[in-house]
Amino acid sequence: MIKSLKDTYTLNNGVKIPGLGLGVWQVDTPQECINAVKAAVKNGYISIDTAKAYDNEEYVGQAIKECDKKREELFITSKLWNADQGYDNTLKAFDATLKRLDMEYLDMYLIHWPVPVADKYVETWKAMEKLNKEGLIRAIGVSNFTKAHLQRLADECEIIPAVNQIEYHPWLIQPALNAYMEENNIKLEAWSPLAHGELLNNEIIGKIAEKYNKSIAQVIIKWDLQNGVITIPKSVKEERIIANADVFDFELSVEDMATINGMNKDYRTGPDPDEFDMDAAK
């Protein structure tokens, strides 16, 4: 379990990834995005997670240039959108992402969704393997992949994904997928760790939060970290960005961890990866 914002996990290719970062999905304005990234870096965050679909890669890049940090001190992730899948399209889309970010390389690049109906994620992955071997991406991974999608990559490609970024929160734990990923040394990264805010009024977690004099959000983030899960909560307010990282001065008991682990009900706030298609909305 990580003990600070600077602590990292070592991925299956030896690259180190921070265990807690900032996500910038659904940030309303360019300036809001810039301010959020700058606030996060100022307060000790190293990892920033964006995507082409978020329409804010250029603002993330601008914010990082305005921060008092060297590029190599940060860990920047972006994602390939569905319509850009395919071998040649992936190479072009990645180049466009680098230009928007105004960077020479990415720390991690993910396939945003498998889109099985299009059946392009294997050739897409092979293009990402090429970019990884060329040193343009330090680690390659996927997002929203199921066990079947991951197994197909293992069967038909050379490189095992370093990360699978999936919807993960107390109502959606996905134990079978997690077990497969652990067996194959694929690190779990959580998106929507607070279930789009739907868990922020949960009575069960609220009682646990009172015990530790913490917020529900802080308890859920700590639960992620104690489960060894990388997490990237999104916020645009500096005080919440600071609060989301104020989770290293307490530890949830075995009983409280078991209580939260027992809340799973296979509830998704986002799409089913087997059904989300090429033309689906962001």
Residues designated catalytic: 54
What does the block give as tokens for 186? 């694929």
Spatial separation of the C-alpha atoms in residues 66 and 163, rounded to whole Å: 29
Strands 16-18 and 8-10: antiparallel
DSSP tag of 234: B
For residue 236, CA distances in Å to 24, 25, 39, 54, 272 come to 8, 10, 9, 14, 27
Q: How far apart are CA 86 and CA 92, in angstroms?
A: 10
Q: What's the Cα-to-Cα distance from 31 to each of 77, 91, 147, 235, rounded to whole Å?
A: 20, 29, 38, 13
